[in-house]
Structure 1
Amino acid sequence: MNRQHFLRYALGAATLALAGCAGPQVSDYAAEKPALDLRQFFNGRVDAQGLFQDRGGHIVKRFTVVMDCRWEGDEGVLDEHFSYSDGSTQRRVWHLTRLADGRYRGRADDVVGEAQGQVAGNALRWNYTLALPVDGSTYHVQFDDWMILMTPQTMLNRATMSKFGVRLGEVLLSFQKAQP
């Protein structure tokens, strides 16, 4: 094999390897049911239980969340109250805006810039940067956040946290919509 053929082969193999790493897109779930309507699910009280695992899989922290959610047209507020297993608490208030084509944007005090998301079928994918306080310092970490509606009352959430492209860990949550 001459050098030119080898380079073409190597470039083709690298392209296939990178394409295999592309991962799922929210559009992959467009036909999945039940269809997720954020304004319907995140309206009223929603309770959640979750945990954070480091990149080695060790559970670092468990938590519960009580959410008070409301929408006026295409504008929503998700008022989250966290209680952690170490006794600490936290509050995050999301301000969401529904855009065209199943897209959403969101803001919160500890989100750097704006969160961008899209819904298709039963899935929502959020991407955002969070200002995360750790031991007296604040780190900007990226979240790739997937929510999947399982039933009209239950949604599962997995968020991968990374910095400079290095995976730091995952947040796993189960949301339960309160009965009216």
Structure 2
Amino acid sequence: MKKPLIAASLAALLAGSLAGCAGPDVQHYKNVAPKLDVARYFAGTTDAWGMFQRRNGEVVKRFHVTITGTGDDQAFTLDERFRYDDGTTEQRVWKLTRAADGGWIGRAGDVRGEAKGEVAGNALRWQYTLMLPVDGTTWAMSMDDWMFLIDDCTMINRASMSKLGVEVGQVTLTFRRRACAP
């Protein structure tokens, strides 16, 4: 009697987990304005303010990022300089190239393989594996990273981080182009 109950519970849990993985297709936003031009938005200097939250909602880290973008609409570099609320710093340099389908392919030192980016309307969806140092070891974190252009100056980013299919937390950022400063 207990085995069918356990099997049914596991099946329901698995179905719920798979449904949680199903999100909107980036093409859902293809007609939403303003249209995001990734290379144009990140050209020059952009500031971002963000936080990392555990899956229970607890904020465990806040940060500011200064991003310098150079290149053109086919290939460019994003030099990200992080300053965390505990005083630590980090740098990530992305090398981005335009994919044949109009999306983007990205590489960075702490990203395993390639990041795949798809753009539609005001949205960009990045998917990649971030190699994250945690307590003396390195975790391969699956990133499902969504960016939404709000206006010519502002973009909001929300990324889900998971390990072995289980969400560990979320990263939320607000970007603001310096060219838009008053």
TM-score range normalised by the length of the shorter chain? 0.7 to 0.9
- Residue 160 of structure 1 aligns with an amino acid whose one-letter code is S
Of the structure 1 ranges 25-34 and 97-106, higher mean CA displacement relative to structure 2 is found in 97-106
1:81 paired with 2:53, answer no
Residue 155 of structure 2 corresponds to which residue in structure 1? 155
The within-5 A match list for 1:33-48 is: 33-48=33-48
CA distance in 2, matches of 1:138, 1:22: 27
Q: Which ranges of structure 2 fall in alignment gaps of 5 or more residues?
A: 1-13
* Distance in 2 (alpha carbons) for counterparts of 1:53 and 1:47: 20
Structure 2 residue matching 1:179: 3-state secondary structure: helix
TM-score norm. by structure 2 comes to 0.87
Q: Deviations over 1:112-143 (max 9, x none)?
A: 00100100000000000011001111111100
Alpha-carbon separation, structure 2, partners of 1:20 and 1:113: 25
Give the partner amino acid of 2:135. Answer: D
Structure (1 or 2) with the larger CA radius of gyration: 1
1:135-154 matched pairs, under 5 angstroms? 135-154=135-154
Q: Give yes or no for contact 1:78–1:93 (8 Å, CA) kept in 2.
A: yes
Equivalent position SS for 2:179: coil
| Contiguous gaps of at least 5 residues in structure 1 | 1-13
What's the TM-score, normalizing by structure 1? 0.87
The count of residues paired between Structure 1 and Structure 2 equals 166
Alpha-carbon RMSD across the aligned residues, in angstroms, is 1.8
CA distance in 2, matches of 1:31, 1:136: 45
In 1, the alpha carbon distance for the partners of 2:20 and 2:94 equals 34
Which residue matches 2:92?
A: 92
Partner in structure 1 of residue 27 of structure 2: 27
Alpha-carbon deviation of 1:100?
Answer: 2.8
Which deviates more from structure 2 when the two are superposed, residues 72-81 or residues 51-60?
72-81
After superposition, residues 1-180 of structure 1 pair within 5 angstroms as: 22-179=22-179
C-alpha contact 1:102 1:120 (8 A) present in aligned 2: no
> What amino acid maps onto 2:72 in structure 1?
E
Q: Deviating runs (4+, > 3 A) in structure 1?
A: 17-21
Structure 2 distance, partners of 1:142, 1:50, is 19
Given that residues 155 and 175 in structure 1 are in contact (C-alpha distance below 8 angstroms), is that contact kept between their aligned partners in structure 2? yes
CA deviations over 1:28-64 (Å, ceiling 9, x no partner): 0000000000010010000000000001100000000
Distance 1:73 1:32 in 2: 21
Q: Report sequence identity in percent.
A: 53
